[in-house]
Chains A and B, each alone.
Chain A
Amino acid sequence: MTLIDGFTETAASARPRSAATRIWNVVRLHLVDRRTYIGIPWLIVGMAFIVTVFIAQIIGFTTGGLGTADAIEGQRYSWAVMSPQWYLVVVGVQAISFGFPLALGYGVTRRDFYLGTALLFVLISAGNAIAFAVLTQLEQVTEGWWIDTYMFNALWLGLEGFWVDLFSFFVMQLLVFFVGASVATIYMRWRMPGMLVFWSSLVLLIVATVTVITFTSNWIPVSVWFGAQGIAGIFGWLLIPAAIAGVGGFLALRRATPKN
């Protein structure tokens, strides 16, 4: 550093921070309001549980008793365990739509912001996966919290043991965050035209896939293929769209600009 450079930066020059510190600070920025990622999702889980208890009692009353195999099987169709996900996909959107302009205002680079946001998603997904997998086990051990009420042993959870629950929930949670974030990133980068292209391409892709499978009479092989994958296999495949959303979001955000 030359003398002139030293003078330019003056006494006011700020001590530079390492990349790891900068990225971690983005994680902290997202978590400075703990309600967003922790408080409200668990409040929703709590509310869903109370509702589930009531519904379980209704099922018990109409079917002539909880704790029967039929009643337990019936509760498996409940989506209560997924109730925070509708909120969390919005959180994924807002992580970008609110977080990005704020982080840029704080002098954060797009790269640091995205890496910090992705790290946050991974950490929260891991935390949620552990919590839900453990709650699923506890629910089995306590035989439905001692009142034959099953909320966490629902859909695919609780069928193939702790590790499959842990892995599948982790992937599902990552997918929810990154899908929300990447849609917001497309908007941040290309605004309304980007949204139109994205959503119409997505609809066309789905319709085309259904058309091709139908016209080639392949629905049975497709369902057989899905059946053969098992729960862990299907969620393994879902890592692909999660990764596409994650990497695609990064590439799109590198040239995005905040709205005025």
Chain B
Amino acid sequence: MIGTASPVVRVDGLTKRYGKVTAIDDVSFSVHANKIYGLLGRNGAGKTTIMQLLTGQQFATSGTVQVFGESPVENARVLQQVCFIKESQKYPDSFRADHVLASAPWFFANWDAAFADRLIEDFRLPLNRPIKKLSRGQLSAVGVIVGLASRAPLTFFDEPYLGLDAVARQIFYDRLLEDYTEHPRTVILSTHLIDEVSSLLEHVLVVDEGRILMDQDADDLRGSASTVVGKRTDVDAFVAGRDIISRDGIGGLASVTVTGLTESEQHVARAAGLELSPVSLQQLIVQCTTSRAGAGTGTADFRGSGRTDTTSRTIGAETDNTSKTDAWSTRA
């Protein structure tokens, strides 16, 4: 773990059951101050539940949650430092965006009104229209503006961009990064658009079926796998004995994604006439979560022994084609 400071969030053995359904299953992790975390996973993996447990909105079945060193449940000292923006946030029926932006500063001591005004212009948010009549993207913009302008020491964004167009999403990423640089704080962002936020994330937590599948530094993760493309015989010879994440091929050509190649190994591969390409964070995570689902293994490594045809389709040549689309929704 990094740094000498105690973590902002410390979760230990956290379990949440709804009746017989186990939404979160014995999860433990820490979140360190002033970093941007990606909380990634498929729909229903438990991302929102984890955020609700960290913000005291849900009650844990067992295990402990500490935020700023204390339980967040009914704890005003902790919750005043926290802002939780969720895609499904409900507003009173009669509310307009200006009601939200007028009341939010009463609850967030670090609120920056000038920054909020700038964001309203950036997102072209109509202030006088009833929230019920806003488009999905405009509704998301309300949350994004509150989340950014609140400058809460610990900010949660739960899929905050639903319905936002590409330009607006880029504005969100830019403003988040700019403001985060000037006013360091801890941000936990759950998202499907992994490649879009990939450069933003400093640490990645992948959740699947209520468990933490991956808890890694984003830079380490990005360098942790490569795709080897070439003649099937050459590729097979090179990857023999390695951790194979996924495999694909047409005719005599093969494309295999493997973990952890050192400099010298990469050299060997190139010398053997093989092409190497980096694997994006999104592909890694997609392969990791789908292969797990296919194989039913509980391990957190990248061995994709039970991968299916759908798994293989995203790798290889189309390195960047999938990057601007939802990592999972395109894979129905």
Co-assembled chains A and B = yes
Interface residues of A (CB under 8 A from B): 4-5, 7-17, 19, 22, 25, 28-29, 32-33, 35-36, 94, 98-99, 101-102, 104-112, 254-255, 257-260
In the complex, how many angstroms separate the beta carbon of A31 from the nearest chain B beta carbon?
A: 9
Return A234 CB to nearest CB of chain B, in Å. 34
Is the Cβ of B93 less than 8 Å from the Cβ of A98? yes
Q: A25-B107, A32-B102, A102-B91 are in contact. Are A4 and B4 (CB under 8 A)?
A: yes
B109 touches A7 (CB 8 A): no
Contact partners of B151 in chain A: CB under 8 A? 12
Once the chains bind, are B106 and A4 in contact (CB under 8 Å)? no
> What 0/1 readout, one digit per residue, does chain B (45-77) give for beta carbons within 8 Å of chain A?
000100010011111000000001100001111
Give the contacting residue for B5; candidates A4, A22, A25; CB below 8 A.
Answer: A4
Q: Tell me, rounded to whole Å, the shortest Cβ–Cβ distance linking A92 to chain B.
A: 13
Q: How far is the CA of A5 from the CA of B90 in the complex (A)?
A: 35
User: Which residues does B use to contact A, with CB under 8 Å?
Assistant: 4-8, 33-34, 48, 52, 55-59, 68-69, 74-77, 79-86, 88-96, 99, 102-104, 106-110, 151-153, 183-185
Q: Which of B91, B103, B110 interacts with A28 by CB under 8 Å?
A: B103
- State how many angstroms separate the Cβ of B260 from the closest Cβ of chain A: 33
Residue of A nearest to B96 (CB): A33
A8 touching B104, Cβ below 8 Å: no
Residue of A nearest to B78 (CB): A107
- Considering only CB atoms, which chain B residue lies closest to A2 in the complex? B6
In the A-B complex, the 3 residue pairs with the smallest Cβ-Cβ separation, listed nearest first, are A14-B109, A106-B107, A98-B92
User: Are B6 and A14 interface neighbours, CB within 8 A?
Assistant: no
Q: Is the interface of B mostly helix, strand, loop or mixed?
A: loop
Contact B74 A29 (CB under 8 A): no
**Beyond known contacts A8-B7, A104-B55, A105-B89: 10 more, CB 8 A cutoff:** A9-B153, A10-B33, A12-B110, A17-B80, A102-B89, A104-B57, A107-B108, A109-B79, A257-B52, A260-B88
Flag if B57 contacts A36 (CB, 8 Å): no
Contact A14 B152 (CB under 8 A): yes
* Of B52, B107, B185, most A-chain CB atoms within 10 Å: B107
Once the chains bind, are A257 and B57 in contact (CB under 8 Å)? yes
Chain B: which residue is nearest A258 at the CB level? B57
5 interchain pairs (CB within 8 A)?
A7-B33, A12-B183, A16-B77, A29-B107, A260-B88
**Closest B residue to A259 using CB positions:** B90
Give the contacting residue for A107; candidates B95, B99, B152; CB below 8 A: B152
Measured between beta carbons, the chain A residues less than 8 angstroms from B106 are 25, 28-29
* Cβ B75 vs Cβ A29 within 8 A: no
A35–B92 Cα distance when bound, in Å, is 12
Contacts of A22 in B (CB 8 A): 76, 80
Tell me the bound Cα distance from A4 to B85 in angstroms. 28
Nearest neighbor of A31 in chain B, beta-carbon distance: B103
Which chain A residue has the least Cβ–Cβ distance from B180? A12
Asked if A5 and B69 make an inter-chain contact with CB atoms under 8 angstroms apart, the answer reads yes
Contacts of B84 in A (CB 8 A): 104-105, 107
